[in-house]
Structure 1
């Protein structure tokens, strides 16, 4: 448990985010889902308010806010709708990579594209052990690298102008590099997104012997692995905060519904099974929020166990969002599956979010491996 009191500035920014999310985003959520993208007027609004540049480095004209500030704001935005927020263009998860890289390793050409152009970055990483059978392969030939195959589903992949990819080459070395669609070619295969997150432009990216040069490489070997580790620590925390916002929205909607609808001349909320479920949803949300704040603070303070906190946070957030959104649908009964009510969309978006960023078991396994390694190290010393 951590002791935490938001600053006046954080409170003010979060209040703006809650108002914008609860009104503008919530109002346009169904339209965005039907179209499969976020309306440009909403994007202009969110960009004007500064919500697209919170994670971006100051050297790229970003706000470079601490994670502890960002998680509060993202929770507020996603109170409006997770799918819409996941569909905002810009640097996306790639912003965390650029934040970790720092000024020294950002090439001048990359800096130019990010600062001067309308740039949308999709970030794909295929170096984890569970991706050992990935269909995306990287080979080196003389001074050039060749990329072949198809990636896993990538958020914003359908509209990306640039890619940041982390992958092991045929020699087993981790390579982190960036591609520019104006000179590097790839095909986009839009994913079957009937489940949820239709607005997020999720796609598989296909490469047919696509080549890129050494000057497009950001980092290699241990340096690349360290960058990916630190970037994913930040990404997991930010994504968990988004999921928390959706959880709070689902709780509030289900609570209001059960408090105002009656059966047998009394509100649904008075029935024991309903009140128990709402209490469980509240406890789940409080637990996830504490995980997020602890992980965000640890990362901001460069705590040695920040990655472990981030893995625990994502596990808790995945478990929580599935439980809370499913519970909201159940509490509405038959209405929970009707599109006139938002909870069915939130449940579908929650399931798609978990699939996109990894199931709970993956984070639990990785955190368990960390704990065992730490314990073994202590015993051996």
Structure 2
């Protein structure tokens, strides 16, 4: 948890603490009803006069905000990886479908319009993959440009995931809009990757401030 320990110091007055679920005064709200990632439960955390000992502080007092920002440099890459997996899954399913679905006497995979969509999806996914893998390597090494690269990977991969999953729904036609097929879930799951660990608008601010 982050808590203000010195209001006069603004962001430098924020400290990080370990708070245990079993601590007195800690409780949780009802599960949120979300658009996607329903396999990951989300609840509000309530703190009612919770007291923690001083040795639960992470790092020095006033370093909580800096710790959070440094952590995001690494965790944003995990969101890029999540988005990449969703996008690849959607492409894989759509490829199989268009080879089986026939219209006008032949698989719709033979139509140039379909082929162009698949080619664009695959191209963007591969670009996202390379950016994500490069950022992951920088995270392992602790490179100086990690802040930019982590934000870029998260932003690009999640935008690609949203676009690719939407195209996958389109390729399945009416079936894509039903829950009998998995691509509608992939599209809903992809949306959160553009939002958490900082919205993609925030990622662009981060990148602009850390241009290599």
Higher relative contact order (CA 8 A, sep 6+): 2
Query: Partners of 2:113 and 2:120 in 1: how far apart?
Result: 11
Following TM superposition, by how much is the alpha carbon of 1:223 offset from its aligned partner in structure 2, in angstroms?
4.1
Query: Partners of 1:265 and 1:181 in 2: how far apart?
Result: 61
Decide which of 273, 281, 284 is 2:113's aligned counterpart: 273
* Residues 165 and 187, structure 2, Cα contact 8 Å, conserved in 1: yes
Residue 309, structure 1, aligned to residue 149, structure 2: yes
* Residues 75 and 197, structure 2, Cα contact 8 Å, conserved in 1: no
Aligned to 1:358, the other structure's residue is in SS state coil
**Normalised by the size of structure 1, how large is the TM-score?**
0.51
Query: Partners of 2:34 and 2:20 in 1: how far apart?
Result: 29
1:321/1:191 Cα in 2 relative to 1: closer, same or farther (>3 Å)? farther
Aligned to 1:190, the other structure's residue is in SS state coil
Following TM superposition, by how much is the alpha carbon of 1:297 offset from its aligned partner in structure 2, in angstroms?
1.2
Is 361-370 or 349-358 further displaced after alignment? 349-358
Decide which of 245, 251, 254 is 2:91's aligned counterpart: 251
Residue 349, structure 1, aligned to residue 189, structure 2: yes
* Residues 176 and 218, structure 1, Cα contact 8 Å, conserved in 2: yes
Is 255-264 or 213-222 further displaced after alignment? 213-222
2:14 maps to what in 1? Answer: 174
Query: Partners of 1:214 and 1:370 in 2: how far apart?
Result: 35
Structure 2: give runs of 5+ residues left out of the alignment.
none
How many correspondences in the alignment? 208
Query: Partners of 2:30 and 2:205 in 1: how far apart?
Result: 30
Following TM superposition, by how much is the alpha carbon of 1:273 offset from its aligned partner in structure 2, in angstroms?
2.2
Query: Partners of 1:339 and 1:192 in 2: how far apart?
Result: 21
RMSD: 1.9
1:317/1:191 Cα in 2 relative to 1: closer, same or farther (>3 Å)? farther
Please give the per-residue CA displacement for 1:219-257, whole angstroms capped at 9, x wherever unaligned: 245643443233212211122112211111100100110
2:130 maps to what in 1? Answer: 290
1:229 maps to what in 2? Answer: 69
Q: Where in structure 1 do 4 or more consecutive aligned residues deviate above 6 Å?
A: none
Please give the per-residue CA displacement for 1:297-319, whole angstroms capped at 9, x wherever unaligned: 11222211112110100101110
Residues 57-76 of structure 1 mapped to structure 2, 5 A cutoff: none
Please give the per-residue CA displacement for 1:308-361, whole angstroms capped at 9, x wherever unaligned: 110100101110110111111111010012111111111111123433333321
* Residues 23 and 50, structure 2, Cα contact 8 Å, conserved in 1: no
Following TM superposition, by how much is the alpha carbon of 1:207 offset from its aligned partner in structure 2, in angstroms?
2.1
Structure 1: give runs of 5+ residues left out of the alignment.
1-164, 375-381
1 or 2, which has the higher strand percentage? 1
Residues 1-381 of structure 1 mapped to structure 2, 5 A cutoff: 165-169=1-5, 170-171=7-8, 172=10, 173-220=13-60, 223-371=63-211
Is 248-257 or 205-214 further displaced after alignment? 205-214
